[in-house]
Amino acid sequence: MGFRLRPWTRSESRRLTTTDRFYLFDVGVANHLARRRPAPGTPEFGRSFEHYILTELLAYKRYRALDMDIRYWRSASGIEVDFVLGDMDVVVEAKATRNVVRGHLRGLRTMVAEHKLERVFVVSLDPERRVLDDGIVVFPWRDFVRSLWKNEIYQGEDA
């Protein structure tokens, strides 16, 4: 009925959260059981959007039979990133906004600075794909899903 998303716990410089997150198998069922009606612009919509992106990542992993970890990263101080794929091969943040701005990227920028990551994506409601000055790629959600299924996102050993 559901699955646990384990945290990324390897860090030399920062204390990280060690608690799993639990997701139901379907975002619609989760919203119904929680009596949420996620309207755009609400925190509930953001959680639903994140849940949807996770279900796409899980479907991709299972369909392709990949040995790809999907985890989340959260520091004890509350800085977080939604999804870490593989051995930090890809980092993905889901933002239910039509205009990703600097304030949405605190977690990603912290991770990039600490780990020298190269494949960093924000999946959002933005109308067009763009690359920010620090190399972070902002993907419209439809383009991200298409690119994921074309094997253009995850480049791990077993992809």
Cβ–Cβ < 8 Å for 122, 105: yes
Gyration radius from the chain CA atoms: 15
pLDDT of residue 123: 98
- HSE toward the beta carbon, residue 87, CA cutoff 13 A: 3
pLDDT of residue 4: 83
pLDDT in tens, 126-144: 999 999 888 899 999 999 9
Q: Bigger pLDDT: 149 or 25? A: 149
pTM: 0.86
pLDDT in tens, 67-103: 999 999 887 777 889 999 998 899 999 999 999 998 8
pLDDT more than 90, % of the chain: 45
pLDDT value at 159 more than 60: no
* Dihedral sign for Cα atoms in the order 80, 85, 88, 94: negative
| pLDDT-based confidence at residue 1 (cuts at 50, 70, 90) | confident
pLDDT of residue 148: 96
pLDDT of residue 14: 58
